[in-house]
Amino acid sequence: MNKIVNLHNYRRSLNTGAGFLKRFLWYYTNILVFNHHFFPISTLKVFLLRIFGAKIGNAVVIKPKVNIKYPWKLEIGDYSWVGESVWIDNLDLVQLGKHVVLSQGALLLSGNHDYTSENFDLITKPIILRDGVWIGARAIVTAGVEASSHAVLSVNSVASKNLGAYAIYSGNPAVFRKNRDIR
């Protein structure tokens, strides 16, 4: 027998962190400036993110076709790089340290649903990527994951558990492969 999800309960379970007008303005700013190739100028994007409440460090690069859910729940440290077609679905805090790289098509998902709940309740948890972390192209980081200093998640991998410092992970689910030696 099919059950109907109560969307009213779903909407109440999401704390957007901003009022309707701010969300409305961000929605169209995201579409017009961030999520296509027409505005390749990173400094403009950083400026707009700061206006909408993001905490952005120095010399941050934001490439074209980036989709950010809520900039007021985003922190990016100095010299970090958000690659083309990255999607930051930050229903909760997403924190990137210094010198972090999100390669093309990387996906950060800070929310999920409780499949055991009749109401399919929303569950959100922060994502924290410490200094020097590299998330490979088309890799996925899920809610609640912390990647320790200089961890690497390789191409097309899925991190659903914490990543250790100076370690390289790959696969679905991502598993430790070897230590990261930096020269």
Residue 9 lies in a domain: no
CATH number at residue 77: 2.160.10.10
Residue 24, phi then psi, degrees to nearest 5:
-60, -50
12 is a domain residue = no
In a domain, 2, yes or no: no
In a domain, 8, yes or no: no
Q: What is the pLDDT of residues 57-69, one digit of tens each?
A: 999 999 999 999 9
What does DSSP assign to residue 163? B
Q: How many other C-beta atoms lie within 10 A of the C-beta of residue 99?
A: 19
Tokens of 160: 């659903």
Task: Give the tens place of pLDDT for each residue, 84-106.
Answer: 999 999 999 999 999 999 999 99
Question: Picking from 35-39, 84-88, 106-110, 162-166, which range would have the lowest pLDDT averaged per residue?
Answer: 35-39
Instruction: Specify if 4 maps to a domain.
Output: no
- For the cut 70, the answer to whether the pLDDT of residue 180 exceeds it is yes
Residue 2 has pLDDT above 50, yes or no: no
Asked whether residue 89 is domain-assigned, the answer is yes
132 with 149: CB under 8 angstroms? yes
Domain count for the chain = 1
Query: Average pLDDT in the 44-68 region?
Result: 98
Give residue 171's domain range.
18-177
